[in-house]
Chains A and B, each alone.
Chain A
Amino acid sequence: MLGFLIQRLMQAAVVMLAISALVFVGVFAIGNPIDVLISPDVTQQIRLDTIARYGFDRPLWEQYLAFLNRLIHGDFGRSFVFNMPVLNLILSRLPATLELTLAAVLGATLIGVPLGMFAGYRPDGVPSRIIMAVSVLGFALPTFWIGLMLIMVFAVQLGWLPAGGRGETVHILGVEWSFLTLNGLRHLFLPALTLSLFRLALMIRLARAGMREAILSDYVKFARAQGLSEMKVVCGHVLKNISIPIVTVFGLELAATLAFAVVTETIFSWPGLGKLIIDSIQSLDRPVMVAYLVLVAFLFIMINFMVDIAYAALDPRLRAGRA
């Protein structure tokens, strides 16, 4: 197990290095940020000084190495626009995205898996048909449309829920959280629902497919032959068996939603990372873009890593090298 962990960590380091290079070069190609930094009517001398101060006159590889060096020391640079350390900027926005994403993906899983299992257990009943119809909708409707519709119905027409913002927040460990106040929860509900519909559909499909396969398997028949109740057969035997694909997709979706909640955050003016990255692209705020992309890559790798560990915990056959 330890060897496995070390191997995965080394792989992760190599992947991170490659990604940092890709990101750096990619963002470099977008254009010269110097015009954002200084007004066009300064003297040529000031302009050259500024370029030299940021190192924009150096060759690309030298800039990259300098960037890498700073990165290793935890220095992501300063935002051109906000004029503050990028790391602080991103960390101040991360909790908002984190709670939105977790609420959406966790909610989708906790609701979608039981629904999907039910639909797989009784595939021919009316409730199952309704569940499957919901999942088709979840796949078919674009997220932005769902968001706009939810705002129109619940915020504009009915006036039950707010249309944007985070609402009241509570400070814990130096960061702000919405989900701890009723008002914050009300603000969280619509964007989380918007983000979760697609994930809900996915989880329903996965759990249903797993259940349909498992329920015909020999071990289920054998469990029934021992007199186990259907509840015990499903929760004791089947659930653990079908949880591996569910955990995989949970991890992937968590990472992907963290990184790409952009549309939903924009629609609901949710002050998270997505909004930050859109703003930084518009203003060519290079350090923010680079740091964001590196951070996203890092999150992906970390989550994948945890999924691998969860696999080993769930499937004994993958736990090699046990005495």
Chain B
Amino acid sequence: MSAPLLQVRDLATHFFMREGVAKAVDGVSFELGQGEILGLVGESGSGKSVTGYSLLGLVDPPGRIVAGSIKLNGQELVGLPQAELRRMRGRRMAMVFQDPMTTLNPVLTVATQIKYAIGAHESVSAKAGRARAIDVLTRVGIPDAAARLDDYPHQFSGGMRQRVAIAIALLNRPDMIVADEPTTALDVSIQAQILAEMKSLVRDLGTALIWISHDLAAVSALAGRIMVMYAGRIVEYGPTAAVLRAPRHPYTRGLLDSLPMRAEPGQELAQIPGAPPSLAALPPGCPFHPRCPSADAICQTAPATTASGGRGWRCHHPLLDGAA
């Protein structure tokens, strides 16, 4: 296999606040191949978005990347000056956010926002810019794009707005897109549509995709590989089918059991007991042990990552073939 597009090693992004240091991302390593779709799942607050922001160099203070390395096409991004990062954003890597109601600027037309996005990297004539805008809007499935170009975001439905945002992210043909729960705020039928469209778009363009979600089911329809994140760490990763069929980490098992489609009709959904820990005051050892059914004394020490056959997990008591 050729060198991966993206290589992340021991990435740590911490937020320095008066109450303490929140280790939102704490030692994350993974690779992403050219054109690959990788799912990143975990409960709310596990550090998924911050991982995405870190990749693009968009972590806002009081947060910053404190350690690790991010290599895109072999080029190190950590420590790169903002001006250089800016030139890469949009053209080499892009990001789509969760809430389509707030990602577009309400007082600028779609045409203007697209014009700014193109203008950030090259100067094109107004006419050529418009043609490109129409092309990319049509590509993401906006009917009659030429007529909608001068509309404002509020004149689009939520699903259409998210399509516009995706179009803007694709505008400069980045090598990689981080999609941060782009369908969570939409209703289910539109979710499925956008998911399918996104899949074919990145396939056509050869763009690699990191799909962030707290919904295992949605990710499994899309991603070839998934990573499960808990309290700032990757606790399990591997090919989607294998991980879903036989999760090794009790946390993955818990996530799977809480999926509605796994339950019998009328049966109460299984839940992971307790709540995710505060990132500023993590329990010692494995951060999941206070909620874990298999926890014992050894879980007070941090487990190392066990890797085997393209899969990996961080657990002292991995499940055998997914047994609960």
Question: Which A residues form the contact surface with B (CB < 8 A)?
Answer: 216-219, 221-229, 232, 236-237, 240-241, 314-317
Shortest CB distance B60–A (Å): 7
Which of B87, B99, B109, B172 interacts with A218 by CB under 8 Å?
Answer: B99
Tell me the bound Cα distance from A226 to B94 in angstroms: 6
Contacts of B134 in A (CB 8 A): none
Tell me the bound Cα distance from A229 to B172 in angstroms: 15
Shortest CB distance A242–B (Å): 10
Contacts of B103 in A (CB 8 A): 218-219, 222
Tell me the bound Cα distance from A258 to B293 in angstroms: 74
Contacts of A222 in B (CB 8 A): 95, 97, 103-104, 165, 168
Tell me the bound Cα distance from A226 to B170 in angstroms: 10
Q: A216-B60, A218-B99, A227-B91 are contacts. A314–B107 as well, Cβ < 8 Å?
A: yes
Closest residue of chain B to A314 (Cβ to Cβ) is B107
Contact call B116/A228, Cβ cutoff below 8 A: yes
Contact call B120/A227, Cβ cutoff below 8 A: yes
A-B contact pairs, 8 of them (CB 8 A): A221-B97, A222-B95, A222-B165, A223-B113, A224-B86, A227-B86, A236-B116, A240-B105
Q: A227-B90, A228-B116 are contacts. A316–B152 as well, Cβ < 8 Å?
A: yes
Contacts of A226 in B (CB 8 A): 89-90, 94, 116-117, 120, 168-169, 171-172
Contact call B102/A227, Cβ cutoff below 8 A: no
Q: A225-B56, A316-B154 are contacts. A237–B108 as well, Cβ < 8 Å?
A: yes
10 tightest A-B contacts by CB?
A227-B90, A227-B89, A316-B152, A218-B102, A226-B90, A226-B117, A225-B95, A227-B120, A219-B105, A222-B103
Contacts of A219 in B (CB 8 A): 102-106
Contact call A225/B116, Cβ cutoff below 8 A: no
Closest residue of chain A to B152 (Cβ to Cβ) is A316
Contacts of A221 in B (CB 8 A): 58, 60, 97
Question: Majority SS of interface residues in chain A?
Answer: helix
Tell me the bound Cα distance from A217 to B102 in angstroms: 8
Which of B102, B109, B116, B155 interacts with A223 by CB under 8 Å?
Answer: B116
Contact call A315/B60, Cβ cutoff below 8 A: no
Closest residue of chain B to A238 (Cβ to Cβ) is B105
**B88 touches A (CB below 8 Å):** yes
Q: A221-B97, A236-B116 are contacts. A227–B107 as well, Cβ < 8 Å?
A: no
* Contact bitstring B57-98, A, C-beta under 8 A = 1, else 0: 010100000000000000000000000001111110011010
Range, interface on chain B: 35 or more
Contacts of B105 in A (CB 8 A): 219, 223, 237, 240-241
Contacts of B109 in A (CB 8 A): 316
Tell me the bound Cα distance from A224 to B108 in angstroms: 16
Shortest CB distance B281–A (Å): 25
Which of A224, A229, A240, A316 interacts with B58 by CB under 8 Å?
Answer: A224
Contacts of B169 in A (CB 8 A): 225-226
Closest residue of chain A to B168 (Cβ to Cβ) is A226
Which of A228, A229, A240 interacts with B107 by CB under 8 Å?
Answer: A240
Q: A225-B58, A227-B121 are contacts. A317–B90 as well, Cβ < 8 Å?
A: no
* Contact bitstring B1-37, A, C-beta under 8 A = 1, else 0: 0000000000000000000000000000000000000
B residues 151-196 in Cβ contact with A at 8 Å = 152, 154-155, 165, 168-169, 171-172
Tell me the bound Cα distance from A315 to B87 in angstroms: 31
Contacts of A229 in B (CB 8 A): 86, 120
Tell me the bound Cα distance from A315 to B153 in angstroms: 11
Tell me the bound Cα distance from A179 to B105 in angstroms: 40
Q: Most A CB atoms within 10 A — which of B113, B155, B168?
A: B113
B residues 111-148 in Cβ contact with A at 8 Å = 113, 116-117, 119-121
Contacts of A240 in B (CB 8 A): 105, 107-108
Q: A221-B58, A240-B107 are contacts. A228–B152 as well, Cβ < 8 Å?
A: no
Contacts of B95 in A (CB 8 A): 222, 225
Which of A228, A314, A315, A316 interacts with B117 by CB under 8 Å?
Answer: A228
Contacts of A227 in B (CB 8 A): 86-91, 117, 120-121, 172
Q: A226-B116, A232-B120 are contacts. A316–B94 as well, Cβ < 8 Å?
A: no
Tell me the bound Cα distance from A250 to B167 in angstroms: 38
Q: Most B CB atoms within 10 A — which of A236, A240, A315?
A: A236
Contacts of A232 in B (CB 8 A): 116, 119-120
Which of B89, B107, B121, B172 interacts with A315 by CB under 8 Å?
Answer: B107
Tell me the bound Cα distance from A217 to B104 in angstroms: 10
Closest residue of chain B to A224 (Cβ to Cβ) is B58
Tell me the bound Cα distance from A317 to B155 in angstroms: 9
Closest residue of chain B to A244 (Cβ to Cβ) is B107
Contacts of A216 in B (CB 8 A): 60
Shortest CB distance A310–B (Å): 13
Tell me the bound Cα distance from A226 to B120 in angstroms: 7
Which of A224, A236, A317 interacts with B89 by CB under 8 Å?
Answer: A224
